[in-house]
Amino acid sequence: MRRLAITIIFLLLLPLAGRSQISIRIFARTRPATIIFTAGQGGFLLRDGAAADLRLIPGEVVIITRYDKRVIYRTLSGTFGAADSLTFSPASADALFRVRAPGNPEPEKLLNGMLRVKPFPGSLLVLNYTTVEECLPGVVRAEAGKFGPSHYFRAQAVVARTYIYRNMERHALDGYNLCDDIHCQVYPGVVTDTVIVNACRLTAGKVLTDRDSLLIEAAFHGNCGGETASSADVWLAGYPYLVSVKDPWCSYSASSTWRKSISRAEWNSFLVSKGITPGTEGSMYSGRSPGQPPEGGRIANRIVQGKTITSEEIRLRFDLRSSYIAMAPAADSIIISGRGYGHGVGLCQDGAKHMAEKKTSYDRIIGFYYPGTIITDIKNARRPPRP
Ligand SMILES: [Zn+2]
Ligand SMILES: [Zn+2]
């Protein structure tokens, strides 16, 4: 028993630095049955399990289709074959390739590293083997947008890297690390935006931990509306670094206030679904004139007839931009007015961007939105045990 406990502790303490290799499932959302590979600079070697590798010069195109439990392929220069799996290995360190799926709504991706293609029920399993640092700029651009100051992107790079390392085991049972869909982390492929690429390099290896060296739940959102939400109120899971902070930095943004009208019938049916008799919910309303944005901070819960309704429930039910809301009855509707965009937990992107524009460094931006956390190298960090 004691030995088991020591083994478990040892496993949990294993440094994560050696895990900088990462496998990402490409086109995870649309799962195409045919893809087209185009070799870019550097060239590639195609291995199909036969004796010799096929050399692919830059510009060579390979069409790959699932055929029963195998994959078949054909090059534009006339070579074809069938295999249990195909591996495209880069012939040089800076080799790049493109991959697209005909008729697929997902755009073509520019990728680096290695590509492996296997048959999958009804489709292909397309896996890209790369490193965390090489895929990070693409992830950061997908999450943080294209434009902003360097320290904004440095903060986002640390947050995204923390997320990737914390969730490395998400698809362990599927045989890869992460997928390229919103389920894990949207990965559009290699990007060349100089400010973003440099922000990732300047923070290489840096992640966020709590005081026990555990990688944090690095939540972020678009705009907090002037006050971030505590994770305990939104997800019923409290973390000491995901507490509500007053944010004076994001009110400049157009997303900071909004309003939405809901029909009385829709609202009443929501109340009934929560066990509340329509007409008794007066205490839920702000008392301000309809359409006035909320004042005086977020309200996490409203209690009517002994029933608790969270603001997050209302946000999800009526597809609201945020849960920082005030409600007021109008003639035959309820006017919901709000501040901010997104769940409100953790880093506020509009605020972080504005702080960076005002010359705040990325470590201070992170300290503001994740109080009490530590920026450290990945080799000093641990992944929290799975719940
Ligand atoms: Zn996933
Ligand atoms: Zn904010």
Report the SS3 class of residue 10. helix
Nearest-angstrom CA–CA distance, 379 and 161: 13
| pLDDT tens, residue by residue, 72-88 | 999 998 889 999 999 99
Looking at all shown ligands, the one closest to residue 226's CA atom is 2
* pLDDT tens over the chain, length 387 residues: 444 444 444 444 444 444 589 999 999 999 999 999 999 999 999 999 887 789 999 999 999 999 989 999 999 988 899 999 999 999 998 999 999 999 888 999 999 999 999 999 889 999 999 999 999 999 999 999 999 999 999 999 999 999 999 999 999 999 999 999 989 999 999 999 999 999 999 999 999 999 999 999 999 999 999 999 999 999 888 999 999 999 999 988 777 899 999 999 999 999 999 999 999 999 999 888 888 889 888 998 899 888 999 999 999 999 999 999 999 999 899 999 999 999 999 999 999 999 999 999 999 999 999 999 999 999 999 999 876
Q: Model pTM?
A: 0.89
**Least distant ligand from the CA of 180:** 1
CA of 218 from ligand 2 middle (Å) equals: 15
Report how far ligand 2's centroid is from the alpha carbon of 368 (Å): 11
Rounded to the nearest whole angstrom, what is the distance from the C-alpha of residue 365 to the centroid of ligand 2? 11
Query: Cα(252) to centroid of ligand 2, in Å?
Result: 10
- Rounded Cα gap, residues 352 and 250, in angstroms: 8
How far apart are the CA of 294 and the centre of ligand 1, in A? 36
pLDDT tens-place string over residues 330-386: 989 999 999 999 999 999 999 999 999 999 999 999 999 999 999 999 999 999 987
Ligand lying closest to the C-alpha of residue 351: 2
How close is the Cα of 367 to the center of ligand 2, in Å? 14
Ligand 2 geometric centre to CA of 6 (Å): 44
Torsion of the alpha carbons at 145, 203, 158 and 183, rounded to the nearest 10? 60
Q: Give the span between the Cα atoms of 380 and 368, in whole angstroms.
A: 22
* 291 phi-psi bin (left φ>0, alpha ψ -120 to 50, beta other): left
Q: How far is the CA of 169 from the centre of ligand 1 (A)?
A: 10
What are the sequence ranges of the domains in the chain? 34-121, 131-218+370-387, 220-353
**Which ligand minimizes its atom distance to the CA of 249?**
2
